[in-house]
Amino acid sequence: MPKQAAAIPFRQTPEGLEVCLIRRRGSEKWAIPKGFIDPGHTAREAALIEAFEEAGLEGRIVGRSVGTYEYRKWSRRLTVAVYLMEVLTEHRSWDEMRLRERKWQPLEKAGRLLARHPIGAFWNHIRERLTA
């Protein structure tokens, strides 16, 4: 059972598909919105909540999870379920905007920026799902 959920926010533009990445201010590492699944929420709901809190984005989950990954935090191994999220609303301000910045990237550049992130291991699968 995953303890956390993450969203890969995306949108279609005239120039092509874009993915929204986030990072802590002052960090060089780009990531995706992720957080714990609170009691009473599903993993899908948690992914939507995290995208709203960390990136100021609202939307809908598209399809099943695109995969899971594990990482260590606080001497625990945590499993993260990853979902695709079609963005319907982008807010100018959001809960964590003082802590995090967001940036829209073309699909291929997002893949390069996330190459060292745990989802880099299954980015080809994610790209296939996004372009299907």
Q: What is the pLDDT of residues 56-114, one digit of tens each?
A: 999 999 999 999 999 988 888 999 999 999 999 999 999 999 999 999 999 999 999 99
Instruction: Just give the CATH number of 4-131.
Output: 3.90.79.10
Percent of the chain with pLDDT over 90: 92
List the chain domain ranges: 4-131
Give the model's pLDDT for residue 74: 82
pTM of the entire structure? 0.95
SS (H, E, C) the chain: CCCEEEEEEEEEECCEEEEEEEEECCCCCCECCEEECCCCCCHHHHHHHHHHHHHCEEEEEEEEEEEEEEEEECCEEEEEEEEEEEEEEECCCCCCCCCEEEEEEEHHHHHHHCCCCHHHHHHHHHHHHHHC
